Chain A
Amino acid sequence: MVGSEVTGLPLLTILIALPLIAGAACLFVRAEAARWIALVTTLVELVISIYLWVQFDPNGAQWQFQEYVPLGGGFGWALGIDGIALVLIQLTAFLMPICIGASWRSIDRRVPEYMAAFLLMQALMFGVFAAQDLFLFYVFFEGGLIPMYLIIGIWGGAERIKASYKFFLYTFLGSVLMLIAMIYMAQTAGTTSIPKLMAYDFPVDAQKWLWLAFFASFAVKMPMWPVHTWLPDAHVQAPTAGSVILAGVLLKMGGYGFIRFSLPMFPDGSAMFVPLVFVLSGVAVVYTSLVALVQTDMKKLIAYSSVAHMAFVTFGLFALNRQGIEGAMMVMLGHGLVSGALFLCVGVVYDRLHTREIARYGGLSDNMPGYALLFMVFTMASVGLPGTSNFVGEFLSLIGTYHASTWAAIVATTGIILGAAYMLWLYWRIAFGTQRNADAAAMPDLSAREWWLLAPIALAVFWMGIYPESFLRPMRNDIGRLLTRVERVAPQGDSRPTPGKAREKLQLVGEEESHS
């Protein structure tokens, strides 16, 4: 069946094809026209994806808006979304116009190519979340490396070449093992359809290897300690909008991969490796938070904080219970917004002073009150203050982890404290204190364009924090279906109430002892 139930239009194909066409058009026009083409396209994409959200029936079929065109060789143009993919598509569509806006003036070199790369990136990201064919997913997943490689390498900072290679080769290395696993899966199960594979039971012995192969890819993408080292480099060197999309969407592909592949397809494999994931996530939370604490570069600090936040996602996912998985999804959404916004905040001051050294700033709340306000909102959200998006996610994910293992929950919770430490200290050093540098003190407050970039994110952060149900509702049934696959193997935590021993019995035992 091709097309949505309501309009008969193949909406997902349009969502993917439109930026491709617009991106190609950008290559043939001048800089100003390319900017407008990109902005209008991303806004239209946002409208289409909101329409998808409205049309999506949370109580309907698992897969909606399905499309299928066979291409031969067992490979097909198979698209379709469930609630999990839907919310991630919303996140992507929401961040893209903001990225284009953030690059409006700060990118003045080779603008048409830049806009084309971003639009290509957008098409591939939608493809990742909408793909229902194993290999189609891989094509989109890996294809995304090319535009990001170019974005970092062409428009990045001084060390951009090294960072772009590191980004590409690291993620490529992780993913090729997944490809081998995918070929094996297609051969064993006789299908490349993701929905069918999600219900297929692979032999337990094979699951172990398949899980490891997928883990190699998603752990790098996520990124998990110790394969996170590409991320700080990529973030620091990438232009602002590149960092936003990297932190906002690309990292979420790792988590999406776990939810879509590792958990439902290899439940036994997942259960087997829960301790591994918990240990790696625990190290990530503590270690990368401490590393973030000592950074002198703003972008690097936020990059390390991303690694720590992503560890909440892996904790939550591999708790294999409802709170954990819902929490992981909410952390992904919240972090996508908040870390994107924080990178934008860095970009705002970087555009003015061309440095990311924390020590060069100070007391910005005096001359940039609007900036200080929004920066504070996002700092608080990143810390996980109740009322903001990250609180919901982190809290749920911690509850889930607690059910699985109290020790893991204790380690994970230190991340909240450490997170508060490095974020609040960062905010204090930048916004408060005395104004040490005359040039930093002379910076003007946010322009109207910058308000338009940051204010919508702030609203979304509060919406998600105050009424998360809008985002949880479309995912609820899908997470329920996922749970039916993994519940059987979920770790039996040490936090369950243990049956108490009856008092009389104890006395009896005592009496017996005294008699004997």
Chain B
Amino acid sequence: MSRFAAILPELILSLGGTVLMLVAAFTGRRGSALVSWLAVALLLVGTAALVGAPSHAGPQFDGLISADLFASFGKAIMFPAAAVAIIAAHGWFEQDHEHSSEYAVLILFAAAGMSIMVSATSLISLYVGLELNSLASYVLASYRRSDERSAEAGLKYFVLGALASGILLYGISLLYGFTGTTNFAGIAAAFARGAPSLGLLFGLVFLLAGLAFKISAVPFHMWTPDVYEGAPTPVTAFFATAPKVAAVMLATRVCVDALAPATDAWRQIMIFAALASIFLGAIAAYGQTNIKRLLAYSSINNVGFVLIGLAGGGAVGASSVLFYLAVYVPMTLGAFLCVLWMRDSEGRPVEDIASLAGLSQTRPGFALAFAVFMFSLAGVPPFFGFWAKVVVFNSALKAGLFPFAVAGILGTVIGAYYYLRIVKVMYMDEPAAPYARVREPLQGLLILLSALVISPLGYLLIGPLQSLSDKAAGSMF
């Protein structure tokens, strides 16, 4: 029985998800509120279940997964983020003939998949977790099947995702073929045996390319703007946060655990991907008029900064990745909740940046919160996003990557332009037609809460968050 204690959160999510799927099937539209609240409750129980065995039980099931603090750190970010994505959908799908009961169930399954991803210490469990998450995500992207854009987003995501899975599997098979093991520790031992063979290097490149797709790092980012724009906004909020955390953490574990002896090999890839993501994410966002597309490029840009931390390598690099993600999630969720509140006078969602004009005069509190998220995403002090950037650059500089860090930080200036543009539209333009008020006090509370975390008050969290992410990163070594 004790071996199951180590995977308690996963059990709660998958069993609970299965039961809720039946409830959803039998109650249909009537039960959507019940199902989504129960799903939120399950995610919170899953988070609470992290206390105890799941955070320190060590390798499980012959090294397929590892229940350690690193995985728990990720779950503690992802589960609440998934819960917020469910809360964000309240009243969203009911506008048309869809309903949100299956939505919550799909999120639960995706969360179970992510949970396996961050715990995976073997290529097999890595792939199983990734696919469980991806399959749920494909369906979520096309959840509004009556909406052409949503259907297109789902299809695009699926086709490109399948391609990426193929690349990933090819890399996995090469690694398995040349090392004779799928276990991370075994792969690390094989890489440590001397200069890696060509086959191993190919395996490494394909594996990382497949993962780069999942974290939408340049040059495997093409799906991101289309999917983010087309998917329903609560789904986009979800995509930009929890699955991204899972994929980044998975890539982190692969790099600093399985591929640790080949740091020089993967570091080049990360350096390229980081700089390309930062610059493309910043430059391509210039001409956007759709706020969701803009935030898609912003998430590409942010992944670039995470990879700067990762490129540092070792425990410091992993810790900086964790820190960045912990700050990235509330600021992104907050920004998307604000997008969710952009409704025209009849309550229909609007995504046009121009519709934000003069928001500071019609809805000062809303505009202030949105501006805080924008400044924080841009990395402007005194907001918390700034400190996250300090932490990742600290990791890169510790590794002696000076020109790389300088190039990366210059990218923040280019990126700052389009974040400033949102602030400019809200504060300096003449007011456009005012938005309809959204009567969702819980969502309002969540916006307030994330704005408070991101505000300078967040600096009070630096101490605990830093020591926690150091410990979590240290648990892999």
A→B interface (CB under 8 Å): 27, 70-73, 75, 110, 113, 124, 135, 138-140, 142-143, 145-146, 149-150, 153-154, 160-161, 164-165, 168-169, 172-173, 176-177, 179-180, 183-184, 186-187
Contacts and interface: CB of A to CB of B under 8 A. Distances in A.
Given A179-B409, A180-B406, A183-B390, A71 B462 contact: yes
Residue with the highest number of chain B CB atoms closer than 10 Å, among A70, A154, A168: A168
A78 to B, nearest CB: 13
A174 to B, nearest CB: 9
A176 B382 contact: no
A140 B402 CA distance: 25
Contacts of B412: 172, 176
Contact of B463 (A27, A70, A160, A179): A70
A495 to B, nearest CB: 39
Contacts of A73: 387, 391, 462-463, 466
Nearest to A141: B381
Contacts of A139: 381-382, 386, 456
Nearest to A209: B402
Classify the interface of chain B: helix, strand, loop or mixed. helix
A168 B406 contact: no
B427 interface: yes
A169 B424 CA distance: 13
Contact of A72 (B375, B394, B417, B466): B466
Contacts of A184: 397, 402
Given A72-B463, A153-B424, A165-B417, A187 B398 contact: yes
A161 B428 contact: yes
Contacts of B397: 180, 183-184, 187
A27 B402 CA distance: 43
Contact of A168 (B364, B410, B420): B420
Contact of A172 (B361, B391, B405, B413): B413
7 contacts: A142-B382, A143-B382, A146-B380, A154-B428, A168-B416, A173-B410, A177-B406
B410 A113 contact: no
Contacts of B398: 187
B464 interface: yes
Given A73-B462, A153-B428, A154-B428, A180 B420 contact: no
Nearest to B389: A179
Nearest to A75: B462
A151 to B, nearest CB: 11
B382 to A, nearest CB: 4
Interface in B428-473: 428, 456, 459-460, 462-467
Contacts of A180: 393, 397, 402, 405-406, 409
B360 interface: yes
Nearest to B382: A143
Contacts of A165: 417, 420, 424
Nearest to B429: A161
A135 B410 CA distance: 18
B460 A71 contact: yes
B361 to A, nearest CB: 7
5 closest Cβ pairs, A-B complex? A72-B463, A139-B381, A73-B466, A143-B382, A176-B409
Given A153-B424, A183-B394, 8 more contacts: A71-B462, A139-B456, A146-B380, A149-B423, A165-B417, A177-B406, A179-B393, A180-B402
Nearest to A109: B361
A154 B465 CA distance: 37
A113 B428 contact: no
B142 to A, nearest CB: 39
B326 to A, nearest CB: 13
Contacts of B413: 169, 172-173, 176
Contacts of B467: 72
A184 B397 CA distance: 7
A169 B393 contact: no
Interface string B358-386: 00110010000000000100001110001
Contacts of A113: 360, 364
A123 B159 CA distance: 53
B381 A176 contact: no
Contacts of B464: 72
A146 B375 contact: yes
A187 B427 contact: no
Contacts of B406: 177, 180
B416 A161 contact: no
Contact of B381 (A70, A142, A169, A187): A142
Contacts of A27: 364
Nearest to B417: A169
B417 A179 contact: no
Residue with the highest number of chain A CB atoms closer than 10 Å, among B375, B386, B406, B420: B420
Given A75-B459, A179-B393, A187-B394, A169 B416 contact: yes
B265 to A, nearest CB: 25
Contact of B416 (A70, A138, A172): A172
B381 A138 contact: yes
Given A173-B413, A187-B398, A161 B390 contact: no
A176 B386 CA distance: 11
Contacts of B417: 165, 169
A176 B414 CA distance: 12
A479 B188 CA distance: 57
Residue with the highest number of chain A CB atoms closer than 10 Å, among B459, B465, B467: B459
Interface in B235-261: none
A164 to B, nearest CB: 8
Contacts of B456: 139
